[in-house]
Amino acid sequence: MNKCTFELSLTEGKVSKAHIQGDWVMGNTVPSFKSVKPQLEKQGCVQLDLKSEQLGRWDSRFVLFLFELDAYCKEQSIVLNMADVPSAAQGLLNQASAFPVRDSGQKILEETSSLAQIGQYTLAFYQQTLVMLTFVGEVCLSSLRLLRGKACFRQRDLWLVMQDCGPGALAIVTLISMLVGLILAFVGAMQLKIFGAQIYVANLVGLGMAREMGAMMTAIIMAGRTGAAFASQLGSMQVNEEIDALETLGISPIDFLVLPRMLALIIMLPLLCLYADLMGILGGLVVSVTLLDISVVEYLIQTKSALDLNDFFAGLIKSSVFGVLVALSGCLSGMQCGRSSSSVGDAATASVVAGIVSIVVADATLTVVYQIIDF
């Protein structure tokens, strides 16, 4: 038998009979449940008897058909009589029905109205803001415990994080800062050379690095390097349930994990900022000496006359604020990480994005404040 059929016939009392024929195996054209469903709906039966006297060979395709038919009958409150179905097929059907169908994991996009989307975004923003404020409040309480000498963390962890945030980042900070100084000097030289004021390239590079670019570029580097590392480390601990273990032992994860990382960035970022200022000024020196025929002594004297301690203090204050923001962004993303490996990557990405955005916003705010107080 090659032709597979599923024929329905209605008897008295709204009892239908279904005659199954043929070899329900791979290679033969097997009726799909979708093609049979309209016939069942049209008859409106209350009981369905399966007759399989003429059923030949069968494989999993037959069991799958029975599984879909059984699910439909349960949904429509139809009594399904499978006494005539092979016992082996009934056993496989029972095993398949014993386990729930798992979701595929694919996100199904549902069409929603614009007003509903606005409401969803608003609720998500509210929830995220609430989580962020709660985390910031816990960090503030942890800082107070530190001032009272009651914070619980290992000093060794603090020194290790400081080593990673400080000396470990010197190479990339050196490269980026020198390139930024070179770019500032080159761009300024093209315009100042028109007026014969090449010497003021030293003013441009010195002020730009000391007040703005040194702190900002260093903070952005640390957001991509250290902030993402913080999020990955804490996210991995969240996946491995190590943070839950700390809470079970009565140890505050904020004190033990977040506080040392925040202190390390607050201490090391201003030092890296000063180092970046120096490297940027040296980058401007290279352009001035090679392209503008300005001697090293002239460049250094002009830089000294253009800068004072307030300019460096302005950059140091910004770098301290940036250190707090980078640490909070990385640690918050790590602490809020999910329980899967992909969530760790999402946490690292979120920490970098949040860190850079907060750095730019804080820099703009502090610049306006400096302008108002004439600092």
Kindly report the pTM of this predicted structure: 0.68
> 219 with 347, same domain?
yes
Q: What is the pLDDT along the chain (375 residues), one digit of tens a residue?
A: 457 777 877 666 677 787 788 888 877 777 877 877 887 777 777 787 787 777 888 888 888 888 888 888 888 888 888 877 888 877 877 877 766 555 544 555 556 778 888 998 899 889 988 988 999 999 999 889 888 888 888 888 889 999 988 898 999 999 999 999 999 998 888 888 888 888 899 999 999 999 999 999 999 999 999 999 999 999 999 888 888 888 888 888 898 999 999 999 999 999 999 999 999 999 999 988 888 888 899 999 999 999 889 999 999 999 999 999 999 999 999 988 888 888 888 899 999 999 999 999 999 999 999 999 888
Report if residue 327 sits inside a domain. yes
Question: What is the domain range of residue 198?
Answer: 154-373
* Domain CATH for 36: 3.30.750.24
**How far is the C-alpha of 165 from the C-alpha of 333, rounded, in Å?**
18
The answer to whether residues 3 and 19 touch, using CB atoms and an 8 Å cutoff, is no
3-state secondary structure of 92: helix
Task: Name the DSSP class of 53.
Answer: E
Residues 300, 289: Cα–Cα separation, whole Å: 11
Number of domains within the chain:
2
Do both 37 and 163 map to the same domain? no
Task: For residues 288 and 190, state if they share a domain.
Answer: yes
Q: Which of 255, 261, 191, 209 is nearest to 232 (CA)?
A: 261
- Contacts of residue 375, defined as CB under 8 A and 6 or more positions apart, other chains included, come to 310, 314, 369
Q: Say what the pLDDT of residue 205 is.
A: 92
Determine, yes or no, domain membership for 119. Answer: no
**Statement to judge: residues 40 and 160 lie in one domain:** no
Q: Is residue 208 part of a domain?
A: yes
Q: Is position 120 within any domain?
A: no
Asked if 81 and 43 touch (Cβ cutoff 8 Å), the reply is no
User: What are the strands, taking DSSP E only, across 133-245?
Assistant: none
Per-residue pLDDT tens digits for 238-285: 888 888 888 888 888 898 999 999 999 999 999 999 999 999 999 999
Domain assignment present for 42: yes
Q: What pLDDT digit, counting tens, does each position of 207-247 carry?
A: 999 999 999 999 999 999 999 999 999 999 988 888 888 88
Task: Give per-residue burial for 137-155: e unless 16+ CB within 10 Å, then b.
Answer: ebbeebbebbeeeebebee
Q: Could you tell me if residue 326 is inside a domain?
A: yes
**pLDDT given at position 223:** 93
Last residue of a domain, one of 97, 117, 139: 97
Note the pLDDT of residue 82. 81
Q: What is the pLDDT of residue 50?
A: 81
Residues 277 and 348 both lie in one domain: yes
Does 71 fall in a domain?
yes
Do 191 and 89 lie in one domain? The reply is no
Tell whether 92 and 180 lie within a shared domain.
no
Q: In the prediction, which pLDDT does 32 show? A: 79
Asked if residue 196 and residue 90 are part of one domain, the reply reads no
Is there a single domain that holds both residue 171 and residue 91? no
Q: What tens digit of pLDDT does each residue of 27-57 get?
A: 777 787 787 788 777 777 778 778 777 788 8
Residue that finishes a domain, picked among 56, 77, 97: 97
Residue where a domain stops, chosen among 97, 120, 145 = 97
Same domain, 346 and 268: yes
Task: Please indicate, yes or no, whether residues 216 and 281 belong to a single structural domain of this protein.
Answer: yes
Which pLDDT score, from 0 to 100, does residue 343 have?
87
Same domain for 244 and 321? yes
User: Is residue 114 domain-resident?
Assistant: no
